[in-house]
Amino acid sequence: MDPSQDEAIHHERFVKVVCVGAGISGLCLAYKLQRSFTNYDLTIYEKNAEVGGTWFENRYPGCACDVPAHNYTYSFEPKADFSAAIAGWRELKQYYDDFATKYDLRHYIRFSHIVIETTWDDDKGQWNITTKDLQTGAVLRDWCHILVHATGYLNKPAWPKAPGLDAFKGPKIHSANWDETIDLKGKNIILVGSGASAVQILPAIQPIVKAAKVFIRTPRWSLPSPSQKTGVFSPEEIQNFIDDPKALMDLRLANERTLNSFFSKREPVA
């Protein structure tokens, strides 16, 4: 028996959605719901004061994307005027700021709100959510049919369990919570780690510090830049990307081919 019109798959019932995080994923969700649906309610809880997620929080010296910037955008929203193949955090943050403004996405977002508990109510078929306003301390309740986790994982500083760390009297800075008021000029620096953040920090601070020592647990293997273009783009190159979208698309495709070439094809096991 055919379902009634009200129950048919193309009948759009009301859906209440809550998303945790207004970074890259949360903004994309808001855009696509707004673009494709009408009978919905969306609330995004964001613990920070603005959008951007990783690119709002990470601002250490040398902080930049580690893939070609033109391939780090939404596929439907290219940016022709990136200044360099590997863009810094300010340009990436501006891209997501501008995206949220262009599509009027901030009205979905409750800034400075952190989600502290979520529980599933099987009888009602809904999520019950407890949030906290970080400015007032007020605890608020909400609910939704669909709960989207979009918090990422690059915003929780983890310090090594090194004896004496707590007793050190000098400044201690974590890449995920950089204190821009601390001046490193002329200082002796210990840099712990050799991951993506460390390999960006060291070249940025080396010219200004007195000395820098790097402590590495595991030797690092680094590849050359995956971009077909390294360094900054000339004004003529940027203008060409603006005037000729195909030239920009060709660059993006070339970068993707290079990135994909890193993964070797495995023969099936007999």
Residue 228 identity (one-letter amino acid): Q
Residue linked to tokens 């590495």? 216
| 3-state SS, residue 193 | coil
Lowest mean pLDDT among 12-16, 103-107, 146-150: 12-16
Q: What is the pLDDT of residues 254-265, one digit of tens each?
A: 999 988 887 776
Beta strands in 96-238 (DSSP E): 109-111, 113-121, 126-133, 139-144, 146-149, 188-192, 211-215
Q: What is the mean pLDDT of residues 173-200?
A: 92
Lowest mean pLDDT among 41-45, 127-131, 152-156, 178-182: 152-156
Domains of the chain listed by start with CATH number: 15-149 (3.50.50.60)
Predicted TM-score (pTM) of this structure: 0.87
CA 256 to chain CA centroid, nearest Å: 19
